[in-house]
Amino acid sequence: MSKTQLAELIARQMSSHDLKGIGVAVSGGGDSIALLVLMARYAKQAGTALHAISVDHGLRDGTDAELRVVSAQCAKLDVPHTVVHWTGWDGAGNLQSNARDARYDLIAKWAKTRDIDVVALGHNADDQAETLLMRMARGAGIDGLAAMAFESQRHGVTWLRPLLGAAREHLRDFLRQENVTWAEDPSNENRDFERIRMRDALKVLAPLGLNAQTLAVVAGNMSDARAALEWHTSLAARDACEMTLGTVRIDLERYNALPVEIARRLLVRAIMWVNGATYSPRRGGVSQVQNSMKNGVSSTVDGCQVVYKQGRIYVCRELNAVRGISCAIDELWDGRWRFTGPADRDGLSFRPLGEVGVRSNDAWRDLGLPREAILSLPAVWCGDALIASPLTDQGTEWVATLERDADTFIATLLSH
């Protein structure tokens, strides 16, 4: 792939965005350095400001040298460069997953301080193929096998992957032609990491036709299939679902009439809409919930409670998931409720209604929701005293507004 073709990949992806400033994430490796150079040229031609950011995870030696390579290249290109540090690793969970999530979070916070809405990432065709193999090994469904998106939304930022159509070696050839140096991450030789083992496997599979280009086509096909399924899931949602006080109510008869995969997707998206999660719950957990529903038994998954009652399914927030959440009056509670009320707010905070709040007022019984859904609704408290429950008591001066409304639920289905 020529430098002209690489530049066209960048221009094609960026042309739909009218921006004053763009961010680019740069680690120092060949992929991200190539992206930096290409983005700098595009930004200069488009008259757009470009800002670069690197995340130091503090997990290995040699990072300082890699960041010096980035800083030097940014200086040559006259691109402002920021380094942010991650200090949140406690040794628990999956290291690469935690590091990835932290990286997105840190970069998003940096972007917002500079009024940057779009950040470019250096993922390429080889990354696509490696990810596909990793997900195949885990028995992934269509969503897992679908291609990485050229464009996605996360933490209020648009993430672009303009180099997904380019092979890793094409990017290094470009850098060699331009006499640009890059740093090799030693972890790329560490076979303890699954991705590196998959990289090795691709070298063996390539002579059989299973190369990055072929797997990218497969991922693209899966992406098309996913889009079709999500479209039909959105139609099912319009027909079978209602949203009431942050709870998704699903008509059981219509739900049971759906094809198995559409029904599963509808339940998954309802759960994600309620808990605000970026990633869907594990398939095994969803299967357990579905089995419980068949037996008319309520169950919990990913901070949500799925309640069966009188021919309907209710997906609501689980009380235990929000029991410890408390925030100031001007903050968003549980990532989705915003309150307005009287000016005198000294000593007030938001917490879930809970058992104490439910027992204090029977008005909730007229709302047509199960008790489980009412328990997790936010209320205004002063210490241990319940001041107001605006979602169950219409006479209060306080008003609670849901940030994610019914239209957002449908839009979420289509955006995935």
Residues 367 and 242 placed together within one structural domain of the fold: no
- Give yes or no: residues 38 and 26 share one domain: yes
Which positions ≥6 away from 402 have C-beta within 8 Å? 245, 246, 336, 337
- Residues 349, 290 share a domain: no
For residue range 383-407, list pLDDT tens digits in order. Answer: 889 998 988 887 778 998 988 766 6
Q: What is the dihedral of CA 300, 301, 305, 310, to 10 degrees?
A: -80
Which residue type sits at 99? A
**How far out from the chain centre does Cα 413 lie?**
13
What pLDDT is stored for residue 221 in this prediction? 93
Q: Largest Cα–Cα distance of the chain, in whole Å?
A: 74
Which two three-digit tokens encode residue 177? Answer: 């032609």
Q: What is the sign, positive or negative, of the torsion defined by CA atoms of 323, 326, 332, 337? A: positive
Q: Same structural domain for residues 186 and 230?
A: no
- Provide the pLDDT for residue 33: 96
Residue 308: which domain range? 223-318+407-415
- Alpha-helical segments (H) within 89-193: 95-113, 125-137, 142-145, 168-177
Alpha carbons 317 and 303: distance in angstroms, whole number: 6
pLDDT in tens, 150-206: 888 888 899 999 999 899 999 999 999 999 999 876 666 667 778 889 888 888 988
Dihedral (CA of 291, 293, 299, 302) sign: positive
Radius of gyration in angstroms for the set of CA atoms belonging to the chain, rounded to a whole number: 24
pLDDT at 413: 60
Domain boundary among 188, 219, 250: 219
The residue count for the chain: 416
266 and 361 fall within a common domain:
no
Report the pLDDT value the prediction gives residue 186, as an integer from 0 to 100.
65
Single residue among 219, 242, 260 that ends a domain in this structure: 219
Report the relative pairing of strands 157-160 and 118-120 from DSSP bridges: parallel
Please calculate the CA angle 226-228-229 and round it to the nearest 5 degrees: 65
Same domain? 227 vs 204: no
- Residues 129, 15, single domain; the answer is yes
> Can you give the pLDDT at residue 415?
55
Residue type, 265: R
Do 185 and 39 share a structural domain?
yes
Among 178, 193, 219, give the residue marking a domain's end.
219
Q: What is the pLDDT of residue 404?
A: 73
Q: What angle do CA 304, 310, 311 make, to 5 degrees?
A: 85
Q: Residue 260 has what pLDDT?
A: 93
Instruction: Tell me, yes or no, whether 40 and 154 share the same domain.
Output: yes
The answer to whether 74 and 52 are in contact (CB under 8 A) is yes
Can you tell me the distance from the alpha carbon of 274 to that of 318, in angstroms, rounded to the nearest whole number? 10
Same structural domain, 190 and 51: yes
Query: Which amino acid type is present at position 314?
Result: Y
207: number of Cβ within 10 Å? 8
* Beta-bridge partner residues of 244: 247
Give the closest residue to 142 by CA, choosing from 304, 271, 262: 262
Angle at 160 (CA atoms; ends 158, 165), nearest 5 degrees: 160
Residue of 270, 266, 314 whose CA lies nearest to 293: 314
Residue 195 has a pLDDT of 80
**Full pLDDT tens readout for the chain, 416 residues:** 898 999 999 998 888 776 778 999 999 999 999 999 999 999 999 999 999 999 987 767 678 888 999 999 999 999 999 999 888 766 666 677 788 888 999 999 999 999 999 999 999 999 999 889 998 888 888 888 888 888 888 888 999 999 998 999 999 999 999 999 998 766 666 677 788 898 888 889 889 998 988 998 899 899 999 999 999 999 999 999 999 999 999 999 999 999 999 999 999 999 999 998 878 888 888 999 998 888 888 899 999 999 988 889 999 999 999 998 888 878 889 989 998 888 888 888 889 999 988 988 788 888 889 999 999 999 999 988 999 898 888 777 899 898 876 666 766 665 55
Same domain, 49 and 151: yes
Give the number of domains in the chain. Answer: 3
- The verdict on 274 and 372 lying in the same domain is no
184: left (phi over 0), alpha (psi -120 to 50) or beta: beta
- Token pair 């939304």 is found at 153
Instruction: Give the CA distances from residue 151 to residues 98, 102, 108, 407, in Å, rounded to whole numbers and listed in that order.
Output: 22, 19, 15, 21
CATH code of the domain containing 168: 3.40.50.620
Identity at 342, one-letter amino acid code: P
Measured CA distances, 23 to 40, 165, 242, 268 (Å): 10, 20, 39, 32
The pLDDT value given to residue 272: 92
Q: Which residues pair with 352 in a beta bridge?
A: 378
